[in-house]
Structure 1
Amino acid sequence: MIKLAKGRMSAGAVIGAILFMVVQVISSLYLPNLTADIVNNGVATGDIDYIWHTGMLMVAFSILSVLAAVGNVFLAARTSQKLGQNVRHDVYSKVLNYSHDELDTIGTSSLITRTTNDVTQLQNAWMMILRMMIMAPIMLIGASFLAYQKNHTLTTIFVIVIPIMLIFVGILMKFAVPLFRKMQEKTDKINLVFREGLTGVRVIRAFRQDKFEQDRFDDANLDYTNNAIKVNTIMALALPVMTLIMSGTNIGITWWGGHLIAQQSLETGNMIAFVTYAMQILMSFMMLAMILMFIPRAQASAVRINEVLDQTTTVIGPSDPQPIGKTPSLEFDHVTFRYHGAEEPALTDIDVTAHAGETLAIIGGTGSGKTTMINLIPRFYDVENGQVRVNGTPVDQADLKQLHQTIAFVPQKAVLFSGTVRENMQYGNPNATDEEIWHALDIAQSRDFIAENPEGLDYHVEQGGGNFSGGQRQRLAIARALVKDASVYVFDDSFSALDFKTDADLRQALKDDEQISQKVVVIVGQRVSTVADADTIVVLDDGKMVGRGTHAELKETNTTYQEIIKSQIREGDEA
């Protein structure tokens, strides 16, 4: 927790909160002393002036205590919320720089929990620290000293009460702390199941697995609920037991103090002040107990957040990056790649080159390594052996920002962001004009369904592009990539949702465009018709390059390619 707070919390605000708290506690501690003076010197003697004078002093100290409390709460709340803002910012920035390996290791659902629920736990803990954790020890020490001053004989009652409280708090912590630590893991599980249910709702309905998924969520929810009930039941015991102890202490002090007053060894006002100090001492113990039970949960959250921030990013930019060349080209030089923890390589000895003005197509069965291969181009992963070069520069020796500016990438799943069509189109090129956007939409065969809407480029895009069909989303994702002035355009199975005519028209538009025809175009396809007119076709099978050449060459000589053609002829898919 302290590690996360360093550099993310204002030292001035923290010091200010502490000073306000000190003033509040001192004011609160002085009030019982004034009460004792009123009783002893005013009420007992009938001195009305003394009562008024001391009473006004009490009002002044009360106002000072309230103002100090407001100042402390303001600074503590502001500082803790600022800490949460800074931590969320740092976590999000860190995750954006993760390679796919790190994202796979931690998991999306866990990252969401750590950025939201865990940060909230951290905020609440620091709010408690700046409030109760500062107040409790100061009040405990101050009240103990002042109570001893009032009557040292009565303070012996704490020799009995405090050990009882410590034993009770120890029992609470033994049972509550482990349950608090489990809360975050169970929150992860709920988020995982809930997120899968939301993203896969169409599949769930299509296969009529509503009951199965509902039961799955209920199990995770019940597990969390049972854990929460246990820990809250334990915590619910704290208040009544503490109240019982404090009430018993109050009775004991009153009984013993009454005897001392009868013996004229204790003044009535001093006993009233002693009772107040005793309550402040016990309240301080109660606050410390609460803090000691909640801090472990916050500490567990802090550990989880630090895991994200301390995660070593495997894909990092070189300290002395090489400039990327200007002439478009793409080269896989005997590349071998293995996923983290995998026994066998996902790609083995991939060797192919594409120059400016050429189209490189990649085809193969499901799981053959097509997407893996193109994920190496923007350096989502690092190769095990060999090199991937863009414009003649090895991607692992190039500045990552410049590398990504050189590549326009259309992922396998078309992703659109909430906003307008224009905002989505400008995602890769913020300075793109409306004319450039419409040109890209023309090439992507998207002008018709955008132009027919009265709002045009200002047409609202819902989250994930939910107000467009699958084919429309795919074409808009392609247009977004085309707006960007890149050297290499990568289309990862980006034509799968398109009909044959739209597919053919789009590929022809790519060839006819004066600018894009001078760049390198990489197309991953499932259909032979999609890749047939490429300058070079790479055939993958089980991560190995089993063929390379033109459509005509592979059709005559490559067995795997012939099998793909035959499988599609039955569906009338061969041109």
Structure 2
Amino acid sequence: MIKIARKNLTGWATTLAVLFMFIQVACDLYLPTITSDLVDKGIVLKDLSTIWHDGAYMLGVAAIGLLAAGGNVYFASTQAMQVGEKLRQQVYHRVLRFSSKEINDFGDSSLITRSTNDIVQIQNVMVQVLRMMLQSPIMLVAACVLAYIREPRLTRVFLISLPILAVVVIIVMYFAVPLFKSIQKKTDRINLIFREGLTGVRVIRAFREEDREQERFKRANRDYTQTGIKAFTLVSFLFPVMTLILSLTNVGIILLGSQLIANMTMQVGNLIAFMTYATQIMISFMMLSMIFVFVPRASASAARVNAVLEKPISVADAPQDDQVKVDPDTPASLDFNKVNFRYQGAEKLALHNLNFKVHAGQTLAIIGGTGSGKSTLVNLIPRLFDIESGQITINGQPIKKLSQHDLHQLISITQQKAVLFTGTIRSNLQFGNENATDDEMWHALEIAQAADFVKEAGGLDAPVEQNGTNFSGGQRQRLAIARTIIKPASVYIFDDSFSALDFKTDAELRLALRKDPQIQRTVTVIVAQRVSTVADADLIIVLDEGEVVGQGTHAQLKAENKTYQQIVDSQIQKGDEERASRTKKD
């Protein structure tokens, strides 16, 4: 919490909030003194001018205290909201820089909770810090001192009430704080189940598992609810107990004070002032105890947010002095030299001894069975993961010596899952090139075989719903491919992005790619399951359990490589092979 406050609070605004708080406390503490004088010198002596004078004085002090309280509330609340705004921005910016490793370490649902619920907890406590956390101890100590100055003999009442109050607060904190900390983890659990239910709703319905998923969510929701009920019941228990203790304290003060007044050893005004100070002491103690209950929960949230902000990023840029720049006139190339890669904590290499090189105008195809490492290989090119050993170069430069910004400028990729953003077709294409003209967009759509259905949908300004749900799977893939094509790059990667296309559309799209002048000056990498998709590539890499078991053209591999022969025999029909050959000739 201290670290977050130091980094995100504005100095002058925080100073004003504290200054206004001191003014408010001074006014609150001064009012009982004025009240005492008004009673003793005005009411008791029936001095009307003193009553008017002290009454007006009280109104003035109260007005100043009210204005100061308003100023404190304004600056405290605005600072708390701005801290939340800054934290959300910092978390979002940090998460965008995470590699898949860091995202997997936290989990999607936990990251969502940390950027929403946890930051809200920090905001709420930040207001309390600038309001009650500073005000309560100052008020408590000052009121005790002033009460003692007014009448030391009555302070004996506090020797009984304050220890009882402290014991009650300690007991409540002992049981409530762990419950509040666990609420955040249970919030993660609810978000996880709810998110899985939303993203997997079709699977749930297809397997008729609605009842099981509802019961799963019900258990998590009930667990969260019961924990919250226990925690807030314990906290709520403080209010009636403190009210009872405050009332009994006032009773004790009145009993002792009445005896002193009867003995003519204390004035009535001092008793009234002392009771006011006693009320301030008890309320300050109550506010302080509430802060001690909620601060640990916010501290747990702050630790969770700091864990995101301070998480070491596994894929980082090289030092500025070691970075290199790529000459835009350098011919495109992609080179893997003795590359090995393993996932964190894995005993076995995921990819072993990868060696190949492709140049501008060439197409590299990667094929293999499920789990052979095809997507892992292409994810190494934009440094979504870092290799264990070896070297990957693009346009003659090692990718580790390029800044990630420069590296990603050289690469345009279509991932396995076609992701579209809420907006329009135009706004989605502008992700690839924000300065693209309408003609360039339509050109990319034509290459991706998407122009026809885009025209039917209403053109470039046709709406795209969340995740592109208003388009079919094949249409989403083609829009994602168009977004990849429209970006000027040296390496174009299509990670199994033709899987939802029929054979005819697949062939026409690849033919359009080969004929496009922009693509002809670059390296094209295609990951595919179908032999017909990779048959016309200049270099085909056959992967099996992370190892290259074959390299060459379709004809070479079909004649010499058993693994490739098995894939051909299991997939391709004679007609498909002839069609692939005709496509290559075209």
Within 5 A, what are the aligned runs for 1:204-283?
204-283=204-283
Matched, 1:553 2:527: no
CA distance in 2, matches of 1:218, 1:330: 52
Matched, 1:405 2:409: yes
What is the aligned partner in structure 2 of residue 78 from structure 1?
78
Q: 2:333 aligns with which of 329, 336, 350?
A: 329
What is the aligned partner in structure 1 of residue 312 from structure 2?
312
CA distance in 2, matches of 1:279, 1:573: 89
Q: Is the 8 A contact 2:532 2:572 kept in 1?
A: no
Secondary structure of the 1:432 match is: coil
**Higher mean C-alpha deviation, range 488-497 or range 180-189:** 180-189
What is the aligned partner in structure 1 of residue 499 from structure 2?
496
What is the aligned partner in structure 2 of residue 67 from structure 1?
67
CA distance in 1, matches of 2:101, 2:154: 65
Residue 331 of structure 1 and its aligned partner are, at CA, apart by 1.0
Secondary structure of the 2:460 match is: helix
CA distance in 1, matches of 2:194, 2:259: 65
What is the aligned partner in structure 1 of residue 528 from structure 2?
525
Residue 191 of structure 1 and its aligned partner are, at CA, apart by 0.8
CA distance in 2, matches of 1:334, 1:418: 41
Q: Deviations over 1:72-115 (max 9, x none)?
A: 01000111111111111111111111111111111111111111
Secondary structure of the 1:428 match is: coil
Residue 256 of structure 1 and its aligned partner are, at CA, apart by 1.2
> Aligned letter for 1:488?
V
CA distance in 2, matches of 1:370, 1:573: 23
What is the aligned partner in structure 2 of residue 3 from structure 1?
3
RMSD (CA atoms): 1.2
Aligned length: 574
Matched, 1:366 2:352: no
CA distance in 2, matches of 1:301, 1:571: 62
Secondary structure of the 1:349 match is: strand
Q: 2:424 aligns with which of 404, 420, 426?
A: 420
CA distance in 2, matches of 1:194, 1:343: 34
Q: 1:481 aligns with which of 477, 481, 484?
A: 484
Within 5 A, what are the aligned runs for 1:111-510?
111-319=111-319, 320-325=322-327, 326-454=330-458, 456-510=459-513
CA distance in 1, matches of 2:3, 2:562: 60
Q: Is the 8 A contact 1:528 1:573 kept in 2?
A: no
Q: Deviations over 1:373-430 (max 9, x none)?
A: 0000001111111111111111111111011000001000000111111111011211
Matched, 1:564 2:578: no
Q: 1:534 aligns with which of 533, 537, 549?
A: 537
Secondary structure of the 1:452 match is: helix
Counterparts in 2 of 1:408 and 1:448: CA distance versus 1, 3 Å: same
CA distance in 2, matches of 1:237, 1:571: 80
CA distance in 1, matches of 2:46, 2:535: 109
Residue 453 of structure 1 and its aligned partner are, at CA, apart by 3.3
Q: Deviations over 1:189-224 (max 9, x none)?
A: 111111111111111111111111111111211111
CA distance in 1, matches of 2:243, 2:311: 46
Q: Calculate percent identity across the aligned residue pairs.
A: 55
Residue 232 of structure 1 and its aligned partner are, at CA, apart by 1.0
Q: Deviations over 1:292-320 (max 9, x none)?
A: 11111111111111111111111111112
CA distance in 2, matches of 1:105, 1:187: 17
CA distance in 2, matches of 1:269, 1:499: 93
> Aligned letter for 2:478?
R
Q: Deviations over 1:484-536 (max 9, x none)?
A: 01000000000011111111110000011111122100000011111111111
Q: Is the 8 A contact 1:527 1:573 kept in 2?
A: no
> Aligned letter for 2:347?
E
What is the aligned partner in structure 1 of residue 583 from structure 2?
none
Secondary structure of the 1:497 match is: coil
What is the aligned partner in structure 2 of residue 513 from structure 1?
516
Q: Is the 8 A contact 2:493 2:525 kept in 1?
A: yes
> Aligned letter for 2:323?
P
CA distance in 1, matches of 2:189, 2:436: 42
Residue 557 of structure 1 and its aligned partner are, at CA, apart by 1.2
Q: Is the 8 A contact 2:84 2:119 kept in 1?
A: yes
Counterparts in 2 of 1:467 and 1:275: CA distance versus 1, 3 Å: same
Q: Deviations over 1:427-466 (max 9, x none)?
A: 1211111111110001001111111234x21111111111
Secondary structure of the 1:83 match is: helix
Counterparts in 2 of 1:203 and 1:571: CA distance versus 1, 3 Å: farther
* TM-score of the superposed pair, with normalisation by structure 1: 0.98
Residue 58 of structure 1 and its aligned partner are, at CA, apart by 0.9
Counterparts in 2 of 1:450 and 1:151: CA distance versus 1, 3 Å: same
Q: Deviations over 1:21-66 (max 9, x none)?
A: 0000111111111111111111111111111111111111111111
Q: Is the 8 A contact 2:531 2:572 kept in 1?
A: no
Q: Is the 8 A contact 2:109 2:192 kept in 1?
A: yes
Residue 324 of structure 1 and its aligned partner are, at CA, apart by 2.3
Provide runs of 4+ in structure 1 moved above 2 Å. 569-575
CA distance in 2, matches of 1:572, 1:209: 42
CA distance in 2, matches of 1:226, 1:86: 33
CA distance in 1, matches of 2:224, 2:560: 60
Secondary structure of the 1:222 match is: helix
Q: Is the 8 A contact 2:94 2:309 kept in 1?
A: yes
Matched, 1:51 2:51: yes
CA distance in 2, matches of 1:46, 1:572: 115
CA distance in 2, matches of 1:499, 1:430: 30
Q: Deviations over 1:104-153 (max 9, x none)?
A: 11111111111111111111111101000111011112211211122110
Structure 1 residue runs without a partner (length 5+): none
